[in-house]
Amino acid sequence: MSARLEREIDTIGLMIEMFCRDHHGRDGLCSFCRELLAYARKRTRACRFGKDKPVCSACPVHCYRPEMRERIREVMRYSGPRMISRHPVLAVRHLLDKRHKTPPRLAKRETAGQTKQS
């Protein structure tokens, strides 16, 4: 697996941790969030784009099943903006990764969505 995919999984892990701590009040992940992380990991590894994979939020193929997609989106909505202050290096890298082979139209929509939410 490429370093970029490893990093994406790390980032997702941190985001889920942050979300779980603030919403489910646990140290470490609750089983609900652990399930989500395991699923995200599996999907990321199985991605048909392999090492050219765009970040999931910008991916034209939505491979998550609807329930998991909803859950991961909720996590991203909550933790995404917070990543910038708590894990600036990872967050910036993630932003750079986002530009990787993302069609301009999708990238633009992604940015617009984030501005509204933050």
Positions in the binding site for Zn ion (CB under 5 A): 20, 24, 30, 33
In the complex with Zn ion, the residue whose CB is nearer, 30 or 84, is: 30
Positive or negative: CA dihedral 26, 30, 32, 33? positive
In the block, which residue shows the tokens 């069609």? 103
- Which of residues 71 and 94 has its CB atom nearest to Zn ion in the complex? 71
Nearer to Zn ion, 5 or 20 (CB): 20
**Least separation in angstroms between CB 16 and Zn ion:** 8
- CB burial string 38-63: b at 16+ within 10 A, e below: ebbeebbeebeeeeebbbbbbbeeee
| Smallest separation, CB 34 to Zn ion (Å) | 8
Identity of the residue numbered 98: K
What minimum distance in Å lies between the beta carbon of 76 and Zn ion? Answer: 15
